[in-house]
Amino acid sequence: MKFRFFLIIALFSHLAVFGQIHQYSNGNNAWNPDSLGNHRAMLQFNGPGKIAHAKINWRRRDEHPELKKVIIHDSEGNKVSIEGLANFSREGVDVYFDAPKKGKYYVYYMPYQDEGRNNYPKGIYLKSDSQQVSKSKHTSVNCTVIALQSTDAFNSFYPMEIIATAKETNALKAQHKGKPFLIFPEDRMFPIKMVKDLPYRWIVKGASNSFTGFAEKGENYALQLGVFALRDLNNVEVILGDLKSSNGKIISSKNISCINTDGITYDGRPLKKRISLSLGNVQALWITVNVPKQTIAGLYTGKFFVKAEGKSYPVDVKLTIGSKILPDGGVSTPNKQTRLTWLNSTLAQQNTVVAPYTSLQVNGNIISLLGRKFEINTDGFPKQIQTFFNSEMTAYTEKPNNLLAEPIHFHFYNTPKTQEKFVSSNFSIISKESGTVKWTAANTSPNLKMDLEASLEFDGYVHYEVKVTALNDVDFSNIDFHIPFDKRSTKYLMGLGEKGGLRPDTLRWKWDVAHKNQDAVWIGNVNAGLYYNLRDEHYVRPLNTNFYLQKPLRLPKSWGNDNKGGIQINIKGSSMLADNFTGARSMRKGEVLYYNFNLLITPFHLLDTDFQWENRFYHKYGNLDSIKATGATVVNIHHATPINPWINYPFIESKKMKAYIDEAHNKGLKVKIYNTVRELSNHAYELPALRSLGMEVYSAGKGGGFSWLQEHLDTNYIAAWFVPQIKDAAIINSGMNRWHNYYVEGMNWLTNNVGIDGVYLDDVAFDRVTMKRIKRVLTNNGHPGIIDLHSANQYNKNDGFNNSAILYMEHFPYLNRLWFGEYFDYETNNPDFFLTEVSGVPFGLMGEMLQDNGNQWRGLIYGMTSRLGWNPGSDPKPLWKVWDAFGMKGSSMIGYWSDNSPAKTDNPKILATVYKKPGKALIAIASWAENDTVVNLTLDWNKLGLDASKAKISVPAIEKFQAAQNYMGSEGISIEKGKGLILIIE
């Protein structure tokens, strides 16, 4: 009671200076925010005089409002002169302005202009030009503040971003002098949004030791405990107890969690977080209470404790459970924060085998997997790796393709001529499951112990953790990790600064993580290849797609060795040696270094050409009858559309989305949606809760960007994609974090409740763990689970000169199609670049083209077209008609790269791919020649399975592709520069 009286006295004292809280209202988009800003004060001037004086208690959260311009308009939108501003602060201002007539006036106090690019704006706030009011213009307050308005409800600061004044805050602190912190229990519908200020709502409510709420049976309920630090707090803890009813029923503390202190990582490991809080700051502690469905209705009470600096304060919790059962946990109403529990989900973590892969088979030290074999040496490292794909990538073979000329191994050189001699022991396969086989081994020398733990998964991913411990102080002139490739399996190379294409005779590369997102390379043939990367125990996935330089790779202490390490790849005898070196270094006794590496054995599976011909993507939201009439079979719904407006948060308009998808299914169409992890819309209901996790979910950054972000997030974020038409502003995710658990649950919910047939990924910021999980939930219960990946070409300064295929190869085993992509040059790059970086063929995938609508002639020899709907000039419909007329389904694709190609030209820059069926064949020819050229086509009629004397060759007319021609089979064929031709033989 004493505190309440003290607070009331303090508030009345404050009112004498700045007056009462104003009314807050929705401006209903009554003005243009891009010139006047998102906020205004609506005033009523009734005189007397011609100079108006208003005292506006705006209680702003921005740090330096005095630096921002103030603009005043009359009721007709005319700008009026400001005579001066006084007492300008975050709490309020006295405004003096010319008022030639009585009526309404509007004070716009955060005007900005957008600079920068359309989709990456920079909201620049106009600088203040106001002067102190002259004595001659001074007058008493004669203007009433009717309301403080935001341009719409989404831009409003009310109520959780209306700051308490310094006097209000100091009065509160004085009342609780000596306490290390105060607690403000808060309802889930009022997410805590400010860190450096108390909301005025808490001044009115006061600090409290009790919380009252209501939840239904089965509901994923959430509440907040706001902690206000009255001194620096080094370790804030939450102790959560059972909730009990009067008749002894219990909601166990096992169902109660604080997402800020405890959780499950994206890869299924327990997570403990330490919270520190600076003096004067606020920390929201989000508590989730997963109410069991069988809970008896009634009142449940208990105590939660917040502990810090040796003090522990209780919060009495009273939660009334209603009689209604929510079978979905309430997740259909995410605005109630019912999905926060998803952050700790383990859904689809078990490494079960995903189609088309098969269970791993172990025979001694040889592990067999789909189309491949992996043999382990006694030291635990790979002895041999084999693939069993034919050169067309359409069938398996009995004859293996060997990847290694000799086993993979390390050299620890004490001097250039002497090295550590290891003795291998304890090799053991410790786990055999259908999806994963694990093994361990130890290798010991006089100065070193090398312990390794390794695993192979069903898709061909191999993980090695190599722990090297110094048994004595020891110096090395160099440490080499050798991968001796069989030279016959190394035609192509991609990565380490090299575009995909023919492998150079020699490649020399050094670490440069500050500028280059490079730690991996792929070497191989179309039907046999190996990707590997080099990492240590501190690896963190960097940002990508425009943002690499803001969070680059960490230099691995082992491999990088203070930038002395690198890789040299060159021919050595009958092998092609990848020498991964560290340079000279020393190790002290007991010191540990981790030389971890990962492998991907390619291809991952056979080409599914029939999927390519049957699933024709229309990449635009539109009328379904019109889409079906084009011949498309799958609709990709981008963000910024009526049913999926907010980027990577496809939940707000889910009812509209479901209605659209249901209609599509009735018409025989599939629907996939844009939903990835890289950035997240500011419309996500969970944004404040996610921000309360520090930098776990969102990346640290300089802030800026669109005005909403600056006004509601202050700083410490990276502004990302922006859609000006709907003002959707995203911020960048941080990488590997618990948002991926939410993402998996979200995909599962969309599949089962909305009926999506798959997902369109537009660059991604998660690893293979999350990719496997979303593939499992998307394909569960017979759902199609189609995943296609678009990537903008990563080979540029901002992306660290990486290759898109290298960046995302760990995801390839779970994709159905590539769309590479923006900024890919289909005109000047050679066929080997197409094959390795764009087509997907060496990995068992097929793709489509994007930039400038692709090159349809060149694309077709890889089975690619452009994508319908994205651009007006992108029109594969004429080619679809040819496919249907020919009957591409069931055909065998024999690419120009195949040893068994039945069609070849006499010009190495003009290539031919054959699509063969019983009794006929379609031949696609494409030119990379510098000029228009006449070529001769040689056909192997036996391989075609056709009788040359009876076969008829036609060059059909194809709209926007080619004119009809007569071709007898013996004369030269004219091919235009950069184009090609289709021939039909039957």
Tokens of 235: 């370790």
DSSP bridge pairs for 25:
149
Dist CA 101 CA 50 (whole Å): 7
Cis peptide before 497 (omega within 30 of 0): no
Concatenating the DSSP letter of every residue in 257-270 gives EETTTEEE-TTS-E
Complete DSSP assignment for 483-510: EEEEGGG-SEEEETTEEEEEPPSEEEEE
Q: Is domain 361-602 given the CATH code 1.10.10.10 in the classification?
A: no
Supply 125's token pair.
């706030």
Of 678, 765, 690, 771, residue with least CA distance to 730: 678
Query: In the prediction, which pLDDT does 693 show?
Result: 98
**CB 773 within 8 Å of CB 347:** yes
Give residue 8's pLDDT: 37
Residue count (the chain): 986
Q: Can you tell me the mean pLDDT for 202-221?
A: 97
Axis crossing angle, helix 166-175 with helix 2-18, rounded to the nearest 10? 160
Reported as a single tens digit per residue, the pLDDT across 72-102 is 999 999 999 999 999 999 999 999 999 999 9
Instruction: Indicate the average pLDDT of the chain.
Output: 96
What six digits make up the tokens of 731?
């911020």
**What CATH topology corresponds to 607-678+735-869?**
TIM Barrel (3.20.20)
| 247 class by beta-carbon count within 10 Å (0-12 exposed, 13-18 middle, 19+ buried) | exposed
CA distance 969 to 927: 19
Secondary-structure breakdown of the chain: helix, strand, coil percentages, each rounded to the nearest 5: 20, 40, 45
Residue 615: closest CA among 430, 437, 819, 914: 819
Domains 361-602 and 607-678+735-869 belong to one CATH topology: no
Average pLDDT over residues 163-180: 96
Contact 179, 217 (CB under 8 A): no
Share of the chain above pLDDT 70, in %: 98
Alpha-carbon distance 603 to 394, whole Å? 11
Query: Using an 8 Å Cβ cutoff, are 379 and 424 in contact?
Result: yes
**Cβ-proximal residues to 465 (8 Å cutoff; 6+ apart), any chain:** 452, 453, 454, 537, 594, 596
Residues 326-360: tens digit of each pLDDT: 999 999 999 999 999 999 999 999 999 999 999 99
How many Å apart are CA 231 and CA 180, to the nearest integer? 5
The pLDDT of residue 189 is above 90: yes
CA distance 721 to 728: 8
Least confident residue range of 1-10, 55-64, 151-160, 633-642 = 1-10
Overall average pLDDT of the 755-781 stretch: 97
CA distance 493 to 831: 14
Both tokens of residue 320?
Answer: 């009334």
Instruction: List CB contacts of 285: < 8 A, sequence separation 6 or more.
Output: 224, 225, 226, 227, 236, 238, 258, 260, 261, 306, 692
* Pairwise CA distance, residues 929 & 978, whole Å: 7
pLDDT in tens, 263-297: 999 999 999 999 999 999 999 999 999 999 999 99
Phi-psi group of 297: left, alpha or beta (phi > 0 → left; psi -120 to 50 → alpha; rest → beta): beta
Tokens 């491949």 -> residue: 372
Q: Could you give the CA distance from residue 140 to residue 491 in angstroms, rounded to a whole number?
A: 85
Please report which confidence band the pLDDT of residue 20 belongs to, taking 50, 70 and 90 as the band edges. Answer: low
| CA-wise closest residue to 845 among 857, 827, 832, 862 | 862
The CATH architecture one would assign to domain 884-986 is Sandwich (2.60)
What is the structure's pLDDT at 877? Answer: 97
pLDDT tens, 227-257? 999 999 999 999 999 999 999 999 999 999 9
Structure-token pair, residue 644: 């999926």
Averaged pLDDT for residues 683-696: 98
Query: Domain spans of the chain?
Result: 2-155, 175-344, 361-602, 607-678+735-869, 682-732, 884-986
Rg (CA), the chain: 33
Give residue 313's region: left, alpha or beta (phi > 0; psi -120 to 50). Answer: beta
pLDDT in tens, 360-372: 999 999 999 999 9
User: Residue 796: pLDDT above 80?
Assistant: yes
- The CATH topology of domain 175-344 is Immunoglobulin-like (2.60.40)
User: Looking at residues 866-873, what average pLDDT do you find?
Assistant: 93
Band (714; pLDDT cuts 50, 70, 90)? confident
Contact 921, 637 (CB under 8 A): no
Separation CA 848–CA 911 (nearest Å): 19
Do 223 and 235 touch, CB atoms closer than 8 A?
no
Whether 15 shows a pLDDT value over 50: the answer reads no
Q: Which residues are bridge partners to 116 per DSSP?
A: 121
The count of other CB atoms within 10 Å of the CB of residue 577 is: 18
Query: Which amino acid belongs to residue 948?
Result: A
Cα gap 115→103, rounded to integer Å: 35
Residue-wise pLDDT for 878-912, tens only, equals 999 999 999 999 999 999 999 999 999 999 999 99
Residue 251 near residue 300 (C-beta atoms within 8 A): yes
Q: How would you classify the pairing of strands 933-935 and 817-820?
A: unpaired
Tell me the C-alpha to C-alpha distance, in Å, between residue 782 and each of 28, 605, 755, 757, 758: 46, 20, 12, 10, 12
- β-strand partners of 51: 98
How many contiguous H segments (helices) and E segments (strands) does the chain have? 17, 65
Q: Per residue in 523-557, pLDDT tens?
A: 999 999 999 999 999 999 999 999 999 999 999 99
Structure confidence at residue 18 as a pLDDT band (50, 70, 90): very low
Task: Give the model's pLDDT for residue 967.
Answer: 86
Residue 242 phi/psi, 5-degree rounding, is -65, 155
HSE of 400 in the Cβ direction (CA atoms, 13 Å)?
14
| Cα torsion angle, 740, 741, 747, 753, sign | negative
